[in-house]
Amino acid sequence: MYSFLKNKGLHFTVFITGACVLVLEILATRILAPYFGNTIFTVSSILSAILAALSIGYYVGGIFAERTPSFQKFFTIIAISGVTVEFFYLIGASLLPSFGNALPITSGPLIFSITLFFIPALLLGMLSPYAVKLQSISLPDRGAGDAAGKIFFWSTLGSIAGSLLAGFVLIPHFGTDSIMHATGIILILLGILGLALLQRVSADNHILGIVAILGVGSILTASLFATPTHTYALYRKDGVYEKITVYDGTFRERPVRFLVQDRTSSAAMFLDTQDPLDLVYDYTKYYALYKLLVPNASHTLTIGGGAYSIPKAFLAELPNATIDVAEIESALPDVAQRFFNLPDNPRLRLYEEDGRRFLADTSTPYDVIVSDVYYSLYSIPMHFTTQEFFSLAKQKLSRDGIFIANVIGDLVPEPPSLIASEIKTFRSVFPNSYFFGVNTPEGQQGQNIIFLGINGEKLLDVHAPSLTENSNPILRSLSEHLIDPEMFNLDAHPTLTDDYAPVEYFTASVLQRSISQ
């Protein structure tokens, strides 16, 4: 048995533990995203915490291996690392709902990355130098360099496999809870199996029994308490990019079905009507701007499906139009069909693709493009904020076509200001443009801001009688929501490009101002 463990078994073991490290690292982003968003702060915090833990683990593991090298202790560390994965996931499930929303998106991810993932990663980091020592002792004729090279080869190969497995198999098909529990269980069982195969004396068997009891206890405890129950939810599942929840509630004293993506209610539908034009959130109603500029639109594109509120409205109002939707989250079309009355209509074409990539690949000229990918301040995709994206969208518009974007921010004129930078960036591409504050054109509270860009010379007179007397309340009140870009000193704000777009820094400033008010 030792001959197996000291060579192939050792390589197999570090391959599995290396895979678990990367699965843990990728899942950490999914665990923290509902509370802090998929921001650069979250990613940087997780990478820093885990790399710091691994580096300390390498150092401690090397010292420990030199002092007390044994296969028994090596496999005990593996089993204990699995116990800590389960234990700290339980801690996260208990603390994140209570404290995650209270911490800022800048420091919060770092605090929880260290709290939840540092100890498991440190223990896993101890394994590689320990394995190098064990193999160099077991096979002294091959030398320390040969042992280190092979151990780090198999460990890194495992990390590659874990990364690919998490991204292409596990996350698309299983929930975060299941994957985390499975990772902890695999480590616990791997450690226990190694200890069992060693068939040591009775003292060692006591250690094996203790590890087994700890492992089983942690699995049972985590299974009972790690995943909070949500009896109100009609649907709750991890998508490829976010946690998706559907539940029924009330809004403005009417029954409503809500779609929650991670922590934000991103879309909703009234339950007391079947009218797709009776939209819940005011910002979605600005799709009606097309009626003023391209009332006979034949091709529309919505980037970001959500509950498909805007595409459903286009279907109802444009009986001869083709309605395209680019939505990167593969679970949402089925959710929208099951819970939000999304029809099966040949004029509605659904594309499971990143919206910017879709724009780059399509040859269709669109009369209307609606970009609604900002489902919260916690998750603003950088590549939909830049000059290059707006230029690409303009290229795909028909003559006199329009581009409508929903952006979230406040109207504080002083830097740093996401909205001021976005207005400057947008006007560099769409000189003929208009901006509307859904709540108010001057407020300094966070709100939805509607950007309208016109690919042509048509002008929008918000004071025209045809508008002020319009039957549509949104169109009728445009003059009351029109933002004057001159309120900003745009020279003091940067233009956002693919090279420079620090949107997380801007959104953190918006949130900080919101908290301090």
Q: What is the pLDDT of residues 457-474, one digit of tens each?
A: 999 999 998 888 899 999
* Mean pLDDT of the region 192-204: 68
The two tokens of residue 187 are: 């480590």
The two tokens of residue 289 are: 């701007």
Q: What is the CA radius of gyration of the chain?
A: 27
Q: What is the pLDDT of residues 212-257, one digit of tens each?
A: 555 555 555 544 444 444 447 899 888 888 889 999 999 999 999 9
* Mean pLDDT of the region 49-65: 95
Can you tell me which residue has the tokens 């990355």? 113
In terms of Cα–Cα distance, which of 484, 447, 428, 380 is closest to 40?
380
- Give the number of C-alpha atoms closer than 13 A to the C-alpha of residue 204, restricted to the C-beta side: 16
pTM listed for this prediction: 0.79
Q: Secondary structure of 150-208 in the HEC alphabet?
A: HHHHHHHHHHHHHHHHHHHHHHHHCCHHHHHHHHHHHHHHHHHHHHHHHCCCHHHHHHH
Q: What is the pLDDT of residues 26-44, one digit of tens each?
A: 999 888 877 887 778 888 9
The sign of the dihedral angle between the CA atoms of 186, 187, 191, 194 is positive
Residues forming CATH 3.40.50.150 domain(s) in the chain: 282-516
Fold of 2-225: Growth Hormone; Chain: A; (1.20.1250)
pLDDT band for 502, please (50, 70, 90 cuts): confident
Judge whether 248 and 180 are in contact, CB under 8 Å. Answer: no
Residues forming CATH 1.20.1250 domain(s) in the chain: 2-225
* Mean pLDDT of the region 336-354: 95
CB atoms under 10 Å from CB of 150, counted, come to 19
Cα–Cα distance for residue pair 403/409, rounded to 1 Å: 19
Cα–Cα distance for residue pair 281/310, rounded to 1 Å: 11
pLDDT band for 102, please (50, 70, 90 cuts): confident
Cα–Cα distance for residue pair 264/253, rounded to 1 Å: 20
Q: Estimate the share of the chain in helix, then strand, then coil, as percent rounded to the nearest 5.
A: 60, 15, 25
Q: What is the pLDDT of residues 127-137, one digit of tens each?
A: 999 999 998 88
Cα–Cα distance for residue pair 473/479, rounded to 1 Å: 11
Fold of 282-516: Rossmann fold (3.40.50)
Phi, psi of 173 (to 5 degrees): -120, -15
Strand partners, 326: 303, 351
Cα–Cα distance for residue pair 76/229, rounded to 1 Å: 33
CB atoms under 10 Å from CB of 224, counted, come to 9
Judge whether 277 and 318 are in contact, CB under 8 Å. Answer: no
- Amino acid 151: pLDDT: 92
| H or E segment to which residue 213 belongs | helix 202-225
- Amino acid 4: pLDDT: 52
The two tokens of residue 464 are: 């025209």
- Please give the DSSP secondary-structure letter assigned to residue 264: E
- Give the number of C-alpha atoms closer than 13 A to the C-alpha of residue 437, restricted to the C-beta side: 21
